[in-house]
């Protein structure tokens, strides 16, 4: 009789202990996983092919853009003494796909959990990889050092305006990479506008409103849900900094469009899009010529 009373209690205790051990093990496994997830490079999709991507308009004055430029649903790309080494996609399908992927990435990145909340100008600070947040606007100046700690894949994410509003203003601001840190693994998520003036800036800016760059050097990409305006600035695309091979954006192998290799409906990685170029004639086997853009 004693055994019949004690055994059920023993089994219950054993079950409870096993459950507790299982939960503890799960916490040990989840902790490093969440830390790794927080420092994963955000997926930009087709948007990562662009040095500048805007929704309404791009204005480039006395500036150099070492990469592709896109705008959608707007179509205006205004150039005055501006050098653009890459392709210009104004209101076409390529820009549309990129803008769609950018908006998705922007929304997803907005949910990234903060490792630390920052205030001040960041002058003189050295930051290891992680997710850093400003509750509202950020006004930056001076020198910020990002220490990769020997890891070329180290990622930094800065979120400006995590409480819903907040602009990024950087004046005479320099970002210095050290110990293996890569500029293209730095991301600046901005709730509102981003204004960079005579700065040496590193990283990709994902802005909810306009991006304005005046003077200085911008090593990274400018992605905006409004307009992008450049004056006297030099921008270098992350794809070039990472030594990625240039991508042919024309489907010449099966293209049936007019000469000039307009990418038209090329799906650019979109499984639901058509690979045929716009203006094509059914039955036309394509061509060998054309300009890659």
Q: State pLDDT tens for residues 106-126.
A: 999 999 999 999 999 999 999
Interval 90-107 mean pLDDT? 98
In a domain, 104, yes or no: yes
**What is the CA angle 17-22-24, rounded to 5?**
95
Q: State pLDDT tens for residues 189-244.
A: 999 999 999 999 999 999 999 999 999 999 999 999 999 999 999 999 986 665 44
d(CA 177, CA 166): 25
Counting other chains too, the contacts that 121-124 makes at CB distance below 8 Å and 24 or more residues apart are 121/173, 122/173
In a domain, 65, yes or no: yes
0.75 exceeded by pTM: no
| 106 phi/psi in degrees, rounded to 5 | -60, -45
Q: Is the dihedral of CA 40, 186, 109, 88 positive or negative?
A: negative
d(CA 225, CA 293): 23
In a domain, 268, yes or no: no
pLDDT confidence bin for 279, thresholds 50/70/90: very low
In a domain, 132, yes or no: yes
User: By three-state DSSP, how is residue 100 classified?
Assistant: helix
Please measure the distance between the N-terminal and C-terminal CA atoms of the chain and give it in whole angstroms: 86
Kindly list the distances between the CA atom of residue 26 and the CA atoms of 16, 150, 168, in Å, as whole numbers in the listed order: 15, 29, 39
In a domain, 249, yes or no: no
- For the chain, what is the total number of helices (H) and then of strands (E)? 3, 22
In a domain, 39, yes or no: no
Q: State pLDDT tens for residues 139-187.
A: 999 999 999 999 999 999 999 999 999 999 999 999 999 999 999 999 9
Run of H or E including 65: strand 64-66
Q: Which domain holds residue 222?
A: 45-241
Q: State pLDDT tens for residues 10-47.
A: 555 545 554 544 444 443 333 343 343 446 889 999 99
d(CA 85, CA 268): 20
CA-closest candidate to residue 157, choices 136, 123, 134: 134
Q: Rg of the Cα trace of the chain?
A: 24
In a domain, 50, yes or no: yes
**What is the CA angle 45-133-236, rounded to 5?**
45
User: By three-state DSSP, how is residue 213 classified?
Assistant: strand
Count structural domains, the chain: 1
Determine the pLDDT at residue 56.
99
| 98 phi/psi in degrees, rounded to 5 | -65, -45
In a domain, 97, yes or no: yes
CA-closest candidate to residue 49, choices 98, 96, 105: 98
Beta strands in 119-185 (DSSP E): 126-127, 130-134, 138-147, 156-160, 168-178
């Amino acid at each position: 009789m004693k055994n019949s009373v004690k055994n059920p209690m023993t089994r219950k205790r054993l079950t409870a202990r096993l459950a507790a051990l299982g939960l503890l093990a799960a916490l040990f496994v989840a902790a490093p996983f969440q830390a790794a997830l927080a420092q994963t490079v955000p997926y930009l999709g087709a948007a990562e092919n662009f040095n500048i991507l805007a929704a309404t308009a791009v204005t480039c004055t006395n500036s150099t853009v070492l990469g592709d430029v896109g705008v959608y649903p707007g179509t205006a790309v205004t150039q005055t003494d501006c050098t653009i080494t890459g392709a210009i996609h104004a209101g076409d399908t390529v820009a549309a796909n990129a803008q769609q992927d950018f908006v998705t990435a922007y929304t997803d990145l907005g949910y990234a959990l903060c490792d630390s909340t920052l205030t001040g100008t960041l002058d003189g600070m050295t930051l290891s990889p992680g997710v850093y947040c400003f509750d509202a606007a950020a006004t930056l100046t001076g020198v910020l050092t990002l220490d990769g700690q020997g890891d070329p894949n180290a990622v930094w994410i800065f979120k400006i305006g995590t409480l819903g509003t907040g602009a990024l203003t950087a004046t005479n601001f320099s970002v210095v990479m050290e110990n293996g840190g890569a500029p293209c693994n730095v991301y600046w998520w901005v709730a509102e506008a981003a204004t960079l003036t005579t700065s040496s800036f590193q990283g990709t800016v994902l802005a909810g409103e306009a991006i304005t760059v005046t003077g200085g050097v911008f090593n990274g990409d400018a992605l905006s849900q409004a307009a992008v305006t450049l004056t006297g600035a030099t921008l270098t695309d992350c794809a070039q900094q990472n030594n990625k091979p240039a991508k042919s954006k024309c489907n010449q192998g099966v293209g049936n469009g007019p000469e000039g290799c307009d990418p038209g409906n090329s799906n650019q990685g979109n499984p639901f899009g058509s690979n045929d170029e716009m203006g094509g004639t059914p039955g036309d086997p394509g061509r060998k010529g054309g300009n890659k853009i």
